[in-house]
Each structure stands twice: as structure tokens, then as C-alpha cells.
Amino acid sequence: MSQDILINWAPQETRVAVVEQGAVQEVHLERTLERGLVGNIYLGKVSRVLPGMQSAFIDIGLDRAAFLHVADLMPNIAAKHASPREKGQAEAGGKVLEGDPVQPIERQIFEGQALMVQVLKDPIGTKGARLTAQISIAGRLLVFLPQDNHIGVSQKIPSAQREALRQRVMGLAAPADGSATGGFILRTNAEDASDDELREDIAYLRKTWQRIKEAATRQPPATLLHEDLNLMQRVLRDLVSAQTHSIRIDSREQCGLLQAFATEFMPDTLPKLQLYTGERPIFDLFNIDEDIARALSRRVDLKSGGYLVIDQTEALTTVDVNTGGFVGARNFDDTVFRTNLEASQAIARQLRLRNLGGIVIVDFIDMVREDHREAVLTEFRKQLARDRVKTMTGGFSQLGLVEMTRKRTRESLAHMLSEPCGACGGKGVVKTARSVCYDILREILREARAFNPREFRVVASAQVVELFLDEESQHLAGLSDFIGKPISLQAEGSMTQEQYDIVLL
């Protein structure tokens, strides 16, 4: 399916949209003052080891300490990927084997230790960054694993070609003396690469690793050793494929820089790069700003008249499918089936567009026929297969729900563009004015028992004061008579409906 990539650049923010058949499929943002950390390599310092959680907090120079789990330490990663022969040798030496309990983290690292780590996931919400001790450096055609000798091939390359490609990389990467020099994973876009192109990428990646190692010997702990490419450069490395028709950018200066980068590292992408010089803003070509605004809403309308309700929480994301105004033309089962089919396509697109990750629970409309359920599940998996991010999908549960996961590495679009409401604190609801009135009456009674002021003054929002002057005036007067003190009212325009203050005069 042909796709176009649009890049909107400004000094403060870079925005990238991936468009297929006129519909926005993905949106990526990078702000100058809030660059993502995924892929960055740090010389960290172990600040705390937690044996009970088999984890450690690592200081990498951020506001919050980053998190490292025992499974992401190199001895455990090496045991996981070891060959049967290596596992036998490890057993003879008394080392940890795959399937055995992993070596406790307190026996592998200690507080104050300097440790080279790489960011797997950006800080999300209240959680710090997730780290791994296995370093990987992405190039144009290959991913270099300097601490591992494994040679792998992308799963997206047909299985019939994988072994031949793996042997090619092994031959090109092996030094003359046969010493171990790290492993490689062949990326999808390297399927048709020549030997010379692969050799150049191998040399570039090894040179980059050598520079990182030298920096680690000179720099103090909590120092950045290697920073991943910026968003525009990552577009050429990660998003461009054979289906990409054009890459349009609206900045002449940045287009020149990107062309120079492409010429040196990714020449195949150079013919697709275009400078956009139209009068309309580049994102207006496909109404991308409107799609971004709709992606911040809970409700997503379907063309048939049905709709989705998407709720993102700390633990998981829920998607509820409803028929809405779609009444169908034949029978109820057919109406439900068609709505669910359309919803499966829309859900997959919304997951990509909103960059939703973690656990996702989809509540399709209940279907009686088993063939309808299978057809919807097949369509859903087919749409998810288009996602460049790894997904896993289960079948229908006993409650009729579909559980799935989508790998999460960066904040969702909603978390990047919005923040909790100052009025409701992120709850999505506020107390009614009447509820606040009754809270105030109880608080005045509580204060009257503890203090003996001359007068009580209620400072509250205009809605609350208006209710006290109208429908609740009798209750306010009754309380004033009961405590034997006058109660005055003052409206404050800057207060939200839930806010109030009781002043003792």
C-alpha cells in the first residue's frame, strides 16, 4: 500500500505524519526541549539495588532514577540466547542456564557501580526510564550487538531467504583471526543490499561502538555517551520502505540537511525527498491537524454510524464498540457483524495514530455466530499486522473480550499533547454545585464547634454562590440560626466549581 510521509518542521517542534490512501496512520512528535531518550546510551551509576523486586535504580542524570530489571542484565541475556553446546559448557562451569533461576541481581551489581546502559522505554507518567545492559546500535541496514555474537535476520524477511542472508552477514562480519567481534541483526530494508553496502554499515557501527567505549573510560557516571538520531533522521532509517512514495518537508534548510544525511547513510531514500513549497501548511493537505484533535477525544465515529469509546488508564487501554445510529439493512446479527468488521479496522488505525501501548482490551459487540467471531478476529489481526510496532493478540475470552498487547516505548499522543484538567484533576468529572454547597455547610458546622468567630464568610465559585442565594438559601439561613453566627457569601471568578474557602472574621 503506497504511503506518503509529511514532515512539518519548526524550531520548537518537528511533526511527522504517515499517510496511506489519504488517511493518517501514524503521527510522530519531537520537541526540542523534550527529546525522547529511547536508544540513548549512558554510563549510569547504580544508586539502589532492590533484591525483593530483583531490580535496581540507576542514576543516568535525569530527574528520576531509571529502572533496570535482572532479566535485562547481560549474563541473563547471554544465557537466554546460548546454543545447546554453550549451555552444556555453562552447566559444567556452574553458570546460570536458561530455565534455571536467574542469578540474583544483588550478586551481579552493587550500589555505586558504574554500568553502561541503554534506554528501552522513555519515562512514562510517574515511572522512570526502563533500561537494559544489552547495548544495540542501529545502522542503515544492520543493528549491531557489540556484547553478543548472535547473527539474526528480521522476521519480516521471507523465511526462505533468511538463512542465506544470515550466512552472508556472518562471512562479512567475521574478522580474519576468527575473534568474536559482536553480533548483528539484518534489518528489513537490507534484503536486497549488496556486500559492499553491508561492509560499510558494519564498519560504521563498529567505529561508533569504539567511540562509545572510549567515551566511557573518560567520562564520569551519569553521563550521556551516545544519542540516537533526531526524528527526521529516524524517519529515513525506520519509516521509509519500498511502499513509500514521497517524503515531503516544508523547511528548505532542514531538507538540505536531510539530503546530506541521506546521501551519506541512506542513498536509496534520496530520490523520495522533496521540498514542499505550497502556500497551504503541509499538514493541511490531508487535514492532519483535525485528525490529531480527534485523536485526543474519547469517541471515534465510524462511517456506518457506529462509534468507538477509547479510555486510556495507567494499567491498560479499553476500547468499547457500539452500533450507535447504524441500524443495518437485513437483520440484527448482520448489523453487529458489519459494525465489528469496520471497528476492527478503525481500532488498529487508532492504536497507531494515538501510539497506544501496553495492554489493550477490546469489547466488540456480542456476536452469536462463531463464523462471525472468527471473521472479525481474522480481520483485526490482519489490520494489526500492518503495524510496525510489535503486537500480540489473543482470541475471544469467555466474556467476549479480545485481549492484546502493543509494545510501548514512548508516551502516547494524548500524554504528549495534553495534561490532567485543572478543574477535575484528571477524573473527567467535577462535583455538582449542590454537592459543593452541602460540603460547605458541613465545614461551617465543623468550624463553629471548634472556633468562635464573629462571622463566617464563604468564598466560592459564582455557580455555588448563586445556588446559596436561590434554592439553598433556606438551608444556609437555618444553619446561621443554629450556630448563632451570620454567614456571608463572596463569589470568586478564579475558583473552579469544586474550590471554596471559609474565612473566619
CATH topology of domain 3-35+230-289: Nucleotidyltransferase; domain 5 (3.30.420)
Summarised one tens digit per residue, pLDDT across range 431-469 is 999 999 999 999 999 999 999 999 999 999 999 999 999
**Confidence at residue 176, expressed as pLDDT on a 0 to 100 scale:** 57
**Confidence at residue 101, expressed as pLDDT on a 0 to 100 scale:** 55
Is the pTM higher than 0.85? The answer reads no
Average pLDDT in the chain: 87
Mean pLDDT for 312-324 is: 90
Mean pLDDT for 412-441 is: 88
Is residue 320 pLDDT above 80, yes or no? yes
Mean pLDDT for 142-158 is: 87
256 Cβ contact list (under 8 Å, min separation 6): none
Is residue 98 pLDDT above 50, yes or no? no
- Are residues 242 and 145 in contact, defined by beta-carbon separation less than 8 angstroms? no
**If you classify domain 41-226 with CATH, what class do you get?**
mainly beta
If pLDDT is split at 50, 70 and 90, which confidence band does 92 have?
Answer: very low
**Confidence at residue 99, expressed as pLDDT on a 0 to 100 scale:** 46
Summarised one tens digit per residue, pLDDT across range 213-239 is 999 999 999 999 999 889 999 898 888
Instruction: Give Cα separations from 399 to 308, 366, 367, 368 (angstroms).
Output: 19, 9, 11, 13
Q: Residue 379 in 3-state DSSP?
A: helix
Summarised one tens digit per residue, pLDDT across range 28-70 is 999 988 888 889 999 999 999 999 999 999 999 988 899 999 9
Summarised one tens digit per residue, pLDDT across range 366-408 is 998 999 999 999 999 999 998 888 899 999 998 889 999 998 8
Among 123-132, 188-197, 272-281, 294-303, name the one with the lowest average pLDDT: 188-197
Is residue 409 pLDDT above 60, yes or no? yes
- Rounded-to-integer distance, Cα 356 and Cα 464, Å: 39
- Are residues 204 and 229 in contact, defined by beta-carbon separation less than 8 angstroms? no
**Confidence at residue 15, expressed as pLDDT on a 0 to 100 scale:** 95
If pLDDT is split at 50, 70 and 90, which confidence band does 80 have?
Answer: low
Domains of the chain: which residue ranges? Answer: 3-35+230-289, 41-226, 298-417, 433-504
- The size of the chain, in residues, is 505
Q: How far is CA 457 from the centre of its chain?
A: 48
Report the amino acid identity of residue 126.
T
Is residue 362 pLDDT above 80, yes or no? yes
Is residue 327 pLDDT above 70, yes or no? no
CATH topology of domain 433-504: Hypothetical Protein Ychn; Chain: A, (3.40.1260)
If pLDDT is split at 50, 70 and 90, which confidence band does 363 have?
Answer: very high
**Confidence at residue 87, expressed as pLDDT on a 0 to 100 scale:** 46
> 10 Å Cβ neighbour count for 92?
8
Q: Per the structure block, which three cell numbers stand in for 453? A: 468567630
Q: Residue 291 in 3-state DSSP?
A: helix
Instruction: Give Cα separations from 236 to 239, 267, 359 (angstroms).
Output: 6, 10, 29
Helix (H) or strand (E) holding 503: strand 500-504
Of 359, 266, 281, which Cα lies nearest the Cα of 318? Answer: 359
Is residue 311 pLDDT above 90, yes or no? yes
Of 140, 139, 130, which Cα lies nearest the Cα of 36? Answer: 130
Task: Give the residue, 1 or 210, on which the prediction is more confident.
Answer: 210
**Confidence at residue 196, expressed as pLDDT on a 0 to 100 scale:** 84
**Confidence at residue 406, expressed as pLDDT on a 0 to 100 scale:** 93
**Confidence at residue 415, expressed as pLDDT on a 0 to 100 scale:** 87
Q: What percent of the chain has pLDDT over 90?
A: 57
Backbone angles phi, psi at 148, to 5 degrees: -135, 145
Does the CA dihedral 408-99-394-155 come out positive or negative?
A: positive
Mean pLDDT for 270-283 is: 93
If pLDDT is split at 50, 70 and 90, which confidence band does 74 have?
Answer: confident
Instruction: Give Cα separations from 257 to 18, 28, 31, 277, 282 (angstroms).
Output: 21, 19, 18, 17, 19
Is residue 97 pLDDT above 60, yes or no? no
- Rounded-to-integer distance, Cα 93 and Cα 174, Å: 27
**Confidence at residue 192, expressed as pLDDT on a 0 to 100 scale:** 78
Is residue 86 pLDDT above 50, yes or no? no
Among 76-80, 84-88, 156-160, 331-335, name the one with the lowest average pLDDT: 84-88
Is residue 24 pLDDT above 90, yes or no? yes
**Confidence at residue 94, expressed as pLDDT on a 0 to 100 scale:** 41
- Rounded-to-integer distance, Cα 88 and Cα 10, Å: 57
